[in-house]
Amino acid sequence: MMMKLITTFMSILFLSFVSAGLGQVKAAFPVSIEGSRGMIESYQARAELKMARSTDFCRGYTMPKLSGSWQCRPSAKGKVKCASKFICKHINKSFSRVSESRRLTNELKKTGRSSSSFTMIVGKKPLRNPSKYRYVEQINNKRSQLRASEKQAIRTKIKRRTEKLKEEMTEYDEFAQLEKELAIETKPTTASQRKDSVDQLSSNALAEDRRQLEENQELIAPFRMEREKSNTSNEEIIRIKKREDMTPIDRRFQILSFSGAMARIQDNNASSVATADFAWTPRWQFGEKWALRGRLGGHFISAEIVDGEDSETFLVYDLAGDLEWFPFLGSGFYLNGGLGVQSWTSTTGGAFSTVSLGGGYLFDFNKAKIVDRVFFSYTSVGNEAANTELKVGIGVSF
């Protein structure tokens, strides 16, 4: 009885192994290759030889065998793609790795073995072989990490875009709240309509700024206004730039400054003569209210130098320095006083000291340009005739 049970158990176990082996033998898997059209037969034989020598896809006493024929079709320029199926078949006397290797080697000799590479894809996972696939797990882990980092980057980008949209919507909502506070009668609007309203307000503000700029060009005389269209919309962009034809001018030092005046000259005998006076008058502004102006000029006069002699006409040179005081900030009115020396070129000659007082008005150079001032002055000459000079004139500068 016991022997019968053991025999039955062994029979069942043997049948289960056989059925498992048969199930594995019947399992078919696809293989595809792709290569040059003229060498496709060589690639097919090489693919079959690789599968015959491989131990990665069939277990135990089985090896891959071609099931059916290769099905080919054109794939790319000058290339052909072929596909077929392999099954795991039991090794026997007429079908083994040695016999298949010999058969396929002889076939390659007939068709001509090609050394060029071709693409081969096996549609079945290889059997796990730790010695051959020891890096598979590391590669999978690295791929998982890369996928995770890509997902995180996408999440970060989505988060930033969401925050930006929230800020924009907050601005639109604040605008709607402002409308309510101003008691403006409004109707329900969408986000796009609110955006259009904001854009319209910006356009109106831009138009108002442009109008004010056009009305106040004199306030920005050293600058010029440029208009251009935006590249992304129909809005007009206004830029204020310095004019290329104007350069900054430092008015603290005025070297090219000159004056011309009508002068009335008198002496202690009540004799008087009128003449024209011209001078070079360089100026230095050393404070908000103070400036120093030099004077180098002259005028012709006709006078009786020696009693009983005829009158002489001669040139009088004038060298002096004046201190200018501006009592009112922002105004051009000023008072001046100074000392100097006059040199007379008459027959008797002589050099005499002078004291002068006066005043005038200094114009804004950016508006008046060349004519920069009008003035009057009273000068006392320290000679025997006690001459006095009263001048009224204008000044120019460049």
CB 25 within 8 A of CB 88: yes
Assess contact for 263 and 276: CB atoms under 8 A.
yes
Radius of gyration of the chain (CA): 55
Q: What's the token pair of residue 296?
A: 């180098």
State how far the Cα of 312 lies from the Cα of 310, in Å rounded to an integer: 6
Per-residue pLDDT of the chain (398 residues; tens, 9 = 90+): 555 555 544 554 444 444 444 434 557 899 999 998 888 889 999 999 999 998 888 888 899 999 989 999 998 888 999 999 999 999 998 999 999 999 999 988 887 777 788 899 998 888 766 555 556 567 778 888 888 988 898 988 898 888 888 887 777 776 667 766 665 555 667 777 777 777 787 777 777 777 776 666 555 455 666 666 665 556 666 766 665 544 445 568 889 999 999 999 998 887 889 999 999 999 999 988 999 999 999 999 887 777 667 788 899 999 999 999 999 887 889 999 999 999 998 888 889 999 999 999 998 876 667 898 999 999 999 988 889 999 999 999 88
The rounded distance, in Å, linking the Cα atoms of 50 and 326 is 107
Handedness of CA 342, 343, 344, 347 (dihedral sign): positive
For residue 157, the number of C-alpha atoms closer than 13 Å in the C-beta half-sphere is 6
pLDDT score recorded for residue 129: 61
Residue 44 and residue 83: Cα distance in Å, rounded?
Answer: 10
* Residue 189 CB partners (closer than 8 Å, separation 6+): 176, 197
Q: How far apart are CA 342 and CA 382, in angstroms?
A: 9
Judge contact between 285 and 250, C-beta under 8 A.
Answer: no
Please state, as a whole number, how many other Cβ atoms lie within 10 Å of the Cβ of residue 1.
4
Q: Give start and end residues of each alpha helix (H) in 95-190.
A: 97-111, 136-181
State the angle between helix axes of 191-215 and 136-181 in degrees (0 to 180), rounded to the nearest 10: 60
DSSP-derived letter for residue 114 is: -
Q: Which amino acid is at 322?
A: D
Residue 197 confidence (pLDDT) = 77
- Measured between alpha carbons, how far is 356 from 378 in angstroms, rounded to an integer? 5
Closest CA to 334 of 385, 383, 285, 381: 285
Give backbone dihedrals phi and psi of 319, rounded to 5 degrees, phi first. Answer: -125, 120
**Residues in the chain, overall count:** 398
- Confidence (pLDDT) at 184: 53
**Residue 168's beta-bridge partner residues?**
none
Q: Distance between CA 228 and CA 226 in Å, rounded?
A: 7
* Whole-number pLDDT of residue 207: 78
- How many CB atoms within 10 Å of residue 242? 12
* Global confidence as pTM: 0.40
Pairwise CA distance, residues 360 & 353, whole Å: 23
Across 245-397, where does the E strand assignment appear?
Answer: 253-254, 257-266, 272-280, 283-285, 290-303, 312-325, 333-344, 351-362, 371-381, 388-397
Q: Give the closest residue to 31 by CA, choosing from 54, 9, 13.
A: 54
Burial class from Cβ neighbours inside 10 Å (0-12, 13-18, 19+) for residue 218 reads exposed
- Identify the burial level of 116 via C-beta atoms within 10 angstroms of its C-beta, where 0-12 means exposed, 13-18 middle and 19 or more buried: exposed
pLDDT of residue 384: 84
